[in-house]
Structure 1
Amino acid sequence: MAKATIEIISALEKTAKKLEAGASYQWGHMGACNCGNLAQELTKLSKGEIHRYAMQRHGDWAEQILEFCPTSGYPMDLMISKMLDFGFSLTDLQKLETLSDHEILNRMPKDRRDKINKNAKEDVIYYMKTWALKLRDEWVEAHPEIDLEKDLAAIKKEEIIF
């Protein structure tokens, strides 16, 4: 699982907030699905650019993650590399696409967890918020002397040049 860093917490929270505010969501669209929306936040690429890069190879996010090769030169692999550089793992991305990480699911009430749907926008938002909260708790426990809210507020939007 991704380490609890201010940058990862911020990325998850910003992605969830954008989805809540009406950002495009379509599970079958490589640029507007679960990973696609997170990729938009991390890379500053548009959903169309992400989708176009993904269509240069076959498969959905899960399949492309399985075939990930950091030296392939494919734009999708370069984008996945940027997400990994940010601190996410391939497993994080696979489980985000299917909303299946048991550490995150176990933080949800059983009745909500049992009904989670990998292609429902509301469930993606809830999953990302739960994940961010889990990481917040871990971060605060590891850094009790630091004000997390102050540090999150100080994060500047840095453009990642792709």
Structure 2
Amino acid sequence: MARVSAELIAAFRKTIIKLKNNAPYQWGHMGACNCGNLAQEITQLSKAEIHQYAMEKHGDWNDQLVDYCPTSGYPMDLMISKMLDAGLTLDELKHLERLSDPKILAHIPVEKRLHLKKNNKEDVILYLETWTLILENEWVKQFDKNLMDFDEKNISSKVFA
């Protein structure tokens, strides 16, 4: 699962809000598709810039993720690197474009899960909302663990043992 951070969760939330408020969505457009919309929030690039960078190489998001090389110097690879730095993985991005991550799908009711379409904005929103809830739950678990570790370190009988 993604490396959880407040910034990553915020990027997801902003992407969801924009999509719900009629942000451009077009699955065949590298800057306005599933990954493209999230990339806009993480990289602060416009859909046009993302699409322009993507056209310097061949293929859709999945192809470019397979061909990703962090040292190529291609703007698309630099953009993917920024998304990875934000906490995402290559596999998660591949799954996002196809709405296919089993860990996320497991949290979507079967009747909806069986009818998800990778190029349907409402389905993308559902997928992103579900993923965001998973990330937020993970964030809370990490926070709770950190608090428990802090409590353990501050128990005087253990500190002075």
What interval of TM-score do these two structures reach, taking the shorter chain for normalisation?
0.7 to 0.9
Letter in 2 for 1:34: N
Letter in 2 for 1:92: E
The alignment-based identity, stated in percent, is: 59
Q: Are 1:60 and 2:60 an aligned pair?
A: yes
Structure showing greater relative contact order (alpha-carbon pairs closer than 8 Å, 6 or more residues apart):
1
What secondary structure sits across from 1:84 in the alignment? helix
**Residue of structure 1 in register with 2:86 after alignment:** 86
What secondary structure sits across from 1:144 in the alignment? helix
Q: Give the alignment's TM-score, normalised by structure 1.
A: 0.87
Contact map agreement 2:4 2:135 (CA 8 A) in 1? yes
Letter in 1 for 2:70: P
The answer for unaligned runs of 5 or more in structure 1 is: 147-162
Count of aligned pairs between the two proteins: 146
Structure 1 segment 109-124 matched on structure 2, within 5 A: 109-124=109-124
Quick one: distance in 2 between partners of 1:124 and 1:23?
13
**Residue of structure 1 in register with 2:136 after alignment:** 136
C-alpha deviation, 1:9, in angstroms: 1.2
What secondary structure sits across from 2:62 in the alignment? helix
Letter in 2 for 1:125: I
Quick one: distance in 2 between partners of 1:46 and 1:141?
34
Q: Are 1:95 and 2:88 an aligned pair?
A: no
Deviations 1:60-105 (A, max 9, x none): 0000000000111111001001111111111111010001011100
Letter in 2 for 1:107: H
Letter in 2 for 1:99: L
Higher helix share: 2
**Residue of structure 2 in register with 1:26 after alignment:** 26
Deviations 1:13-53 (A, max 9, x none): 11011100110000000000000001100111110110000
**Residue of structure 1 in register with 2:127 after alignment:** 127
Q: Give the alignment's TM-score, normalised by structure 2.
A: 0.87
Q: CA RMSD in A?
A: 1.2
Moved over 6 A (4+): none
C-alpha deviation, 1:142, in angstroms: 2.2
Quick one: distance in 2 between partners of 1:18 and 1:144?
31
C-alpha deviation, 1:144, in angstroms: 2.9
Quick one: distance in 2 between partners of 1:4 and 1:109?
24
